Amino acid sequence: MLSSGSDTTTNKPSKRKLENGEDSATNIYKELEEPLSIPEKPAVIEERDGIIEMRVITNNGTMDNLLLLTSLKNCIRTQLPNMPAEYITRLVYDNKHQSMAIVKEKKRVVGGITFRLFPENNLAEIVFCVVNSDEQAKGYGSHMMNHLKDHLKDNENVKYLMTYADNHAMGFFKKNGFTTEITLERRLWVGFIKDYDEATIMQCKMIPKVKYTRLQEILARQKRAIQIKLAERLKQSTKYPGLQLFHKNGVKHVDPMTIQGIKESGWDPEMEARAHGNKKTNRSIMASITAELKKHAKSWPFRIPVNGDEVPDYYKIIKAPMDLMTIESKVENNCYKTLDDYIQDVRLIFNNCRIYNAEGTIYVKCANGLEKYFNERLKFYDNANNNGIKRVKYS
C-alpha cells in the first residue's frame, strides 16, 4: 500500500551491520531523507506561482459561482462538440452536481471536472472532464484529477470514482488510476450513475493514506527505497548448495518453496502466473469485454437466445447458436480454457447472424457494427495486457 513520505511506521527493517558500521535500517532511512530530484509539470508550477487555482464550485446562487459555471459550461461545449448543449447546461447548473475547476485570472475556467456525489454509497460519478485544447500539454488534466481525489476522500468520505469513458478518453482515465474491472458492488452504482451508449464504465478506488497531489513524490520515494534495498541485498548475496533430492528414490518433482533461497528471494508462484497471463486475468478480460458488448447500442439482437417460437426455422438453419447471455454464463462458470475459445464463441454470434439474415438487413448491420467494436476492445486489452491476449487475431 502506498503511504506518504512523512508517514511513520512501527514495522522497521531488521537491523544488520554494513561495512561502514551502520545498520541497514539506519542506512535506508538516511538515504530516503535525502532530497529528491523530481521534474515538476507546468500545472504544478503554475499553481504554486498563483497563475492557476483549483476551485470547487456549485450553483449556490452567488454571482461569482454563476460566472465560473458559465465559463466552465462554455469550455465543456467547446471540447465536447457532439454533446447536446442543453444537456451540458442542465448538468453544470444543476445544484446536485459540483465541479472542480481550473481557474485563471480569477474568472476564466480553462478546464474542469463536473461530478455528482452519492455519499451513502461512498461514490462519486464523473460526468464531464475537459481541459482547453491549448492547455492540455501542461498536465492540467492529471493535476486536476489529483486535486479532485484529495478533495473527495478528505472532505466527502468518497472511496470510489466512476465514469463512462469513450475510446478517446479511456487512455487518460487509465493513466489516472481507473480500470474497466469493476469491483464496487453493482447495487451501489447501477441505477445511480448515468448510462451512456458506446462508452465503457470505469472505476477508480482511492487509497485513503495517499495524498494524490504528492503522488509523484510518494512513488519516487518508494522507488528509491526498493533500489536501496536491492543494492544492499546484492552486497549480501548468499550461495546455497545444489539439490541432491533427484539422486534419491527417483524423486522427479519438488515444491519450489522448499528450496533454500527461493522464499528468501521474494519469489512466489503467483508472480510466475502473472508473468504468463494467468486464468484469473484472462477471465477478467472476458468478463469486461462481454459487459461492454452487452451495453453497446448494436448488441440488442444478440443479448439473449433467439426465441424458437417466434422464429420457427432458426434452429433448423443455425446448428451452433450463440448469444451474449450464454457467453456471460460460460465466463462466470469458467468454461473457457483460453481466450481463443472465448473469441471463437463471440465471432460465432456474428457469423450465425450473417448466415441466417440477408445482407443489408438491420440484423447484419448490427452484427457488423458490434464485431467492429469487439475488434477495437480486443486491441485495447491487447495493449493494456500483452501477456493476456498477445496471440489474438483481430479479424
In the structure grid, which three cell numbers stand for residue 93, read together? 447548473
pLDDT in tens, 353-369: 999 999 999 999 999 99
In the structure grid, which three cell numbers stand for residue 351, read together? 457469423
Is 105 marked active-site? Answer: no
The Cα 46–Cα 373 span in angstroms is: 40
pLDDT of 388 > 80? The answer is no
pLDDT of 10 > 50? The answer is no
Share of the chain above pLDDT 90, in %: 54
pLDDT of 279 > 50? The answer is no
**CATH second-level architecture of 42-213?**
3-Layer(aba) Sandwich (3.40)
Q: Cell 448543449 belongs to which residue?
A: 85
Closest by CA to 38, choosing from 224, 287, 251, 199, is: 224
Residue ranges of alpha helices (H) inside the chain are 24-32, 42-48, 63-79, 85-93, 140-155, 167-175, 215-235, 269-275, 279-295, 314-317, 324-332, 339-356, 362-384, 386-389
**DSSP assignment, residue 338?**
S
Share of the chain above pLDDT 70, in %: 82
- Give residue 274's pLDDT: 59
pLDDT of 78 > 60? The answer is yes
- Give residue 6's pLDDT: 34
pLDDT in tens, 129-151: 999 988 888 899 999 999 999 99
- Give residue 106's pLDDT: 86
What number of helices (H) and strands (E) belong to the chain?
Answer: 14, 6
pLDDT of 12 > 50? The answer is no
The active-site residue out of 47, 125, 135, 371 is 125
If pLDDT is split at 50, 70 and 90, which confidence band does 18 have? very low
pLDDT in tens, 225-237: 888 888 877 776 6
Domain map of the chain by residue range?
Answer: 42-213, 279-389
Coil/strand/helix, residue 251: coil
If pLDDT is split at 50, 70 and 90, which confidence band does 247 have? low
If pLDDT is split at 50, 70 and 90, which confidence band does 259 have? confident
- Give residue 251's pLDDT: 63
If pLDDT is split at 50, 70 and 90, which confidence band does 258 have? confident
- Give residue 16's pLDDT: 45
If pLDDT is split at 50, 70 and 90, which confidence band does 390 have? very low
The Cα 154–Cα 252 span in angstroms is: 56
pLDDT in tens, 103-114: 998 889 999 999
**DSSP assignment, residue 40?**
P
- Give residue 272's pLDDT: 67
284 φ, ψ (degrees, to nearest 5): -65, -35
Class of domain 279-389: mainly alpha
- Give residue 381's pLDDT: 82
pLDDT in tens, 162-189: 999 988 888 899 999 999 888 899 899 9
- Give residue 11's pLDDT: 40
